[in-house]
Structure 1
Amino acid sequence: MTNESMKTDIPSLNRLRGATAKKGAPPFRVGIVIGPGYFPLDMVGVQAVLGTMPGAEIYLVWKSREPVEGFRGWWTIPTATFSDCPDLDVVAVPMMPPEVQNDREVVEFVAARGKTARYIIGVCNGVLTLGAAGLLRGKRATISYNSHAILPHYGVTEVVESGVVADGNVYTAGPSVGSFEAALLVAEQAFGRPVAQLAEFIIEYDPHPPFGTGTAAGAGPGTVAKFQGMMADMISLYHAEALKVAGNA
C-alpha cells in the first residue's frame, strides 16, 4: 500500500490539496521518524507546514507498519518503514524516549538519510539523534532546555539556548513550537518566502503563551527544578549514549 492509495478521498479536501500546488508539481518527500513514546507535538508542526508545500508527500517512518503510541494516547500508523521509505527531501526527528532514539536502527536510518536529504530537522531531544548520527559535528545547534550540556559531546561547536538554529541544511529547534518554526524556515529555503508566508497564514501560526512560562527565565526556579526532576532519568540515559558515542569517535 502506498501513501497515494491511503489518501482520504474527500472532494473538498482534495480541492484544498490541489490549491497548494500546481498539478504535476515534483514530489517533495518529508520523512518524519516516529516510534513508541514519540512526542507528537514535536512533529505536528513539520507535518502541518510542509504538508502544504507543492508536491508534498509525508511519510511517518518506523521499523514496521504496526501502530505505535505517541505520548500519550496518540496512536499512529507508520506509512513507511526504514527499509521501504523512498528517497527524502526532508528528514525530521521529534523527541522520543532514549531507549528508542538510541536504537541503532533508528540512528543508522537517520545517518543514511541525513547524508542525502536536502534538509534535516531535529526538534527537542530529537536533536540528539542527529548528533548520534554524526550530523552535528562542527555545527551550531539548539535543543530542549535540559539537554544543552549534552550537545558538545556530539561535536557541536556552539550551543544556542533557544529558538531555531539553521546551520547549512541542518535545522535544530526546541520543543513544540520549534517544529513549526523550523519547518517554516525549511519551506522558505525550498520554495521561497512568499510560499512560506502563505503557509504561516494557512495555519495561522501566531503563538500567544497565556502564562509566559515557556522559557526557564519565565518559568522561575521552582518550576525549572520540578521539570528537571521529572526529566532526570531520561536525561541521564541520553547523556550516557552521548558519552559512549563521543568515546568511540
Structure 2
Amino acid sequence: MRVVIVIHEGFQLLDMAGPADVFATASLFRRDAYDVEVVAPAKGPVRASGGLTTTVEHSLGSLTGEIDTLMVAGGLAVPQVRQDGAVIEGLVRLAARARRVASVCSGALLLAEAGLLDGRRATTHWLAAKELAERHPDVDVDADPIYIKDGDIWTSAGVTAGIDLALALVAEDLGHEVARDVARGLVVYLHRPGGQSQFSTPMAIAAPSREPLRDLLVFIDANPAEDLSVPALAGRAGMSERHFSRVFTEQSGGLSPGRYVERSRADAARRLLEATDHPLDTVARLTGLGVPETLYRVFRRHWRVSPGDYRRRFHSRRSSF
C-alpha cells in the first residue's frame, strides 16, 4: 500500500516521523505491507520547525500513479503554506488519486483549504480548531477527539495523535492484532479509540491556583474507589460544601466536582480494561462506579465505546517484539 506523506517548510517533524515509523513497523510484521514516500512542494531539503532538515526526492507536481493513503503534515507554518496556490492545487490532484486522505495536527487546515473537508466532520489540534471552524464554516469541527474518520477522510489532533491515527489505519488495513504489535514494537501507548478526548482527565483542566485543590485532584485520580462525594471532598479540603463546589468549579474552568470525579473514574476504568483481565463488575467496583451498568453508561458517555468493545480492541497482551 503506497503511503504519501506531504510536508512543507516549517512542518512538525513528528507529524511525519510518527506515522512513517508506524507504517514501517507494520511492514516488519506483514512484510512490505506499506511503501512510504515523502513529498514536498519542491524536491530537496525541507526544514522542519524544530530545525532538522528532511530531503525529499519528489515534488507534489512530479508525483505520478495511484496512491493508497495521502497524509498531510501540519506545523506552525501552515498559515503561510495554505496561501500557496500550487500546494493546494497539488493536494487536490493527489487526493483525487488516493483511496483515502488523512491529516495530522494542523494539516487539517490545508485539507480544508483544498475543499476536501467541506461537509465533513473533522478534528485538528485544539489550538487550531477555532481557526478551522471560523475560516471554513462548511466543516463540522470537533476539537475533542484524537482522530475522526468521515468516509474516506481521516483527521487527527495534535502531533502525537498522528501515531494514533496511523495505528488506526493499520488496524483497518491489517487488523487490530497487528496494530497492537506495532504499538508494542514502538513502545508507544496502545492505540486509542478516535472518540477518546485529546485530554486525559488531569490535562483537561488548568492546575488550580490553590494548593489544597491541587492536592485534592491528585487524591481523586489516585483513589477512584474512595468516597468522592462533595461532602467528603469538601471536608478533605477544609471548606463548606457550598464554598467548595463554587471554588472547585471556578478553579477548574467550569467543571463541577461531580463531573471531574466521573471523568477521573472513567479514565481509571479505561486503564484497567487495557491492563487487566478483571471482569466488568470488578472494574466497576475498583473505580468507584459500583456496578457494570453504571460503568457502561459512564464509559459510553466519556469514551464513546462500550467497555467490552474497548477491551476487545485495546487490551494489552504479553508479546515479544
What TM-score, normalized to structure 1?
0.69
CA distance in 1, matches of 2:170, 2:200: 28
> Structure 1 residue 131 and structure 2 residue 118: aligned?
no
* Matched residue, 2:121: 140
The alpha-carbon deviation at position 138 of structure 1 amounts to 1.4
CA distance in 2, matches of 1:50, 1:103: 29
* Matched residue, 2:245: none
CA distance in 2, matches of 1:60, 1:117: 15
**Partner of residue 99 from structure 1, selected from 64, 77, 80:** 80
Question: Contact 1:44 / 1:179 at 8 angstroms: preserved in 2?
Answer: no
The alpha-carbon deviation at position 118 of structure 1 amounts to 1.6
What percent identity do the matched residue pairs reach? 27
* Matched residue, 1:10: none
> Structure 1 residue 50 and structure 2 residue 28: aligned?
no
* Matched residue, 2:63: 85
Question: Contact 1:164 / 1:182 at 8 angstroms: preserved in 2?
Answer: yes
Larger Rg: 2
SS of the residue aligned with 1:35? coil
Any stretches of 5+ residues in structure 2 without a counterpart? 191-198, 210-321
Query: Aligned partner of 1:45: which letter?
Result: G
Question: Contact 1:123 / 1:143 at 8 angstroms: preserved in 2?
Answer: yes
> Structure 1 residue 150 and structure 2 residue 118: aligned?
no
**Partner of residue 195 from structure 1, selected from 165, 169, 178:** 178
CA distance change for structure 1 residues 79 and 213 in 2, over 3 Å: closer, same or farther? farther
- Larger RCO, structures 1/2 (Cα 8 Å, 6+ apart): 1
Within-5 A mapping of 1:170-249: 170-206=153-189, 217-220=204-207
CA distance change for structure 1 residues 190 and 146 in 2, over 3 Å: closer, same or farther? same
How many matched pairs?
Answer: 191
Question: Contact 2:5 / 2:38 at 8 angstroms: preserved in 1?
Answer: yes
* Matched residue, 2:9: 36
Question: Contact 1:32 / 1:59 at 8 angstroms: preserved in 2?
Answer: yes
Residue by residue, what CA displacement relative to the aligned partner does 1:89-118 show, whole Å, maximum 9, x if unpaired? 111111131212331111111112222212
Question: Contact 1:151 / 1:159 at 8 angstroms: preserved in 2?
Answer: no
Any stretches of 5+ residues in structure 1 without a counterpart? 1-27, 223-249
Query: Aligned partner of 1:129: which letter?
Result: L
CA distance change for structure 1 residues 34 and 102 in 2, over 3 Å: closer, same or farther? same
Question: Contact 1:119 / 1:186 at 8 angstroms: preserved in 2?
Answer: no
* Matched residue, 1:165: 148
By percentage of residues, which structure has more helix? 2
Query: Aligned partner of 1:57: which letter?
Result: D
Question: Contact 1:102 / 1:129 at 8 angstroms: preserved in 2?
Answer: no
SS of the residue aligned with 2:67? coil
